[in-house]
Amino acid sequence: MHTKTLTQLAQGLQSGQFSSIELTKHFLDRIRKHSDLNAFITVTEELALQSALAADTRIANKQTQPLTGIPLAQKDIFCTLDVKTTCGSKMLDNFIAPYNATVVEKLNQAGAVMLGKLNMDEFAMGSSNETSYYGAVKNPWNTNTVPGGSSGGSGAAVAARLAPCATGTDTGGSIRQPAALCGITGLKPTYGRVSRYGMIAYASSLDQGGPMARSAEDAAILLQAMAGFDTKDSTSVDVPVPDYSAQLNNSLAGLKIGLPKEFFSEDLNSDMASTLQSAINEYRQLGAEIIEVSMPNLKLAIPSYYVIAPAECSANLSRFDGVRFGHRCESPVNLSDLYTRSRGEGFGKEVKRRILMGTYALSTGYYDAYYVKAQKIRRLISDDFKNALTQVDVIMGPVTPTTAFGIGEKIADPIEMYLSDIYTIAINLAGLPAISIPAGFINNLPVGLQIIGNYFTEEHLLNIAHQYQQVTDWHQQTPKGFE
């Protein structure tokens, strides 16, 4: 059953081929069997079986939606009522959420069955899933390599067929990068398309939830349930949600694809460039026109991002003070001691590093020199994308500079780790939607192709991705040992 798509699973449930209880037990067995991947922080077996029983009743009464009875897993950044929500941190190791995030609520209403909460980089800060308090997640394609981050648990779980699909969040590439390194499909929607209510904040102007699945078709089904305006989220945008599956089979004849020369420079690994060119050639065969574009400010994305994101993180994480919730130090002598030791004990190295960077950038005397300047650069980057998208329909390029690297290979070098997101960060700064799809292998490790669209054109990106997946089978490959 774990080899079936979401559509096939829904058909099997509705035809009585298997029940949601049987399907859920099958995936719970796989999670137990492959626990060494460390993809899950919490497995909600009892809750999952209760939800599956309720889904079977709905199916019997013909009250079904596309996700009714289908198991999925939630990134452990989304608050889940009465279930531990940790953000991959020691700080929230004892936190039981008192409410559901809007994304969780929407998926529950759609009848989906939550298998558990997925491992992630601490507070979504990382590119390898090695900063998690619960240990590194392993990439199922090679368990000595990272799955990417921060949604590494999501990427590994879907790739290893421990869940048919999963939620992720993307602040600087944290859906697309693990999707690429794990050989699955991951979509970062337009900023504001998916509610951030109940999604624990890292950088509020950049964070965005999205679907991670085996294919564009599956991602369309999951996004359909996740997307929509939410009055509880001030950054949610009141734009109608289209039928994301309706346009999947549209022809790509006449599609204009832009290739930024800054993405395909001599800095790009030659094997990566060759693999991506092969994927782009498939689009030529499908009737697309390839046009070179230039976005000269892309080189400023990393320095801009690593001022803005840490600045916002330093503000957001100030709520973790040992008073209201989360880790609290033993026997504080005064308020200052409570704050200092609670945060010192509760936060990991990378989180502390970003808090310090952000606090410095926001401090008196440096705010204009760093934060304001970074926001001006952000506008220039956004303008580059807007100009390019007047010439072409979508932009294509790499997701990552390399395939999955070894566990422990970059963790001691923060700058090297930050460069892992060189091709994804600019899209978050601009607030645009982008999707990563499997496009081949280098030395038996997956490669992802990134497709970037204009605001609120997720259905167009899914169509472009789906048409490629109709003529290739990269997205159908399964890691050895997880068949």
110 neighbors 226 (Cβ within 8 angstroms): no
239 neighbors 222 (Cβ within 8 angstroms): no
Q: Which of 400, 411, 254, 299 is nearest to 348 (CA)?
A: 411
Query: What residues pair up with 210 in beta bridges, in sequence order?
Result: 168
> For the sheet containing 209-213, what is the strand order?
40-43, 113-118, 71-75, 165-169, 209-213, 185-188, 434-442, 445-452, 394-398, 256-260, 289-293
Task: Tell me if residue 106 falls in helix, strand or coil.
Answer: helix
Helix (H), strand (E) at residue 73: strand 71-75
**Is 75 an annotated catalytic residue?**
yes
Task: Tell me if residue 223 falls in helix, strand or coil.
Answer: helix
* Distance (Å, whole) CA 41 – CA 26: 19
Structure tokens at 12: 């099997």
Query: Catalytic pick from 127, 128, 150, 420?
Result: 150
89 neighbors 117 (Cβ within 8 angstroms): no
Rounded to 5 degrees, what are φ and ψ at 71?
-70, 145
DSSP-derived secondary structure letter, 269: -
239 neighbors 229 (Cβ within 8 angstroms): yes
* Distance (Å, whole) CA 6 – CA 10: 6
DSSP E strand stretches across 264-420: 289-293, 394-398
Q: Which of 311, 428, 305, 442 is nearest to 366 (CA)?
A: 311
Structure tokens at 227: 């997307």
Query: Catalytic pick from 25, 75, 90, 106?
Result: 75
* Distance (Å, whole) CA 158 – CA 187: 14
List Cβ neighbours of 196 (8 Å cut-off, separation of 6 or more). 204, 207, 208, 209, 233, 235, 236
Query: Catalytic pick from 127, 174, 195, 215?
Result: 174
Helix (H), strand (E) at residue 43: strand 40-43
At 241, the amino acid letter reads V
Q: Tell me the catalytic residues.
A: 75, 150, 174
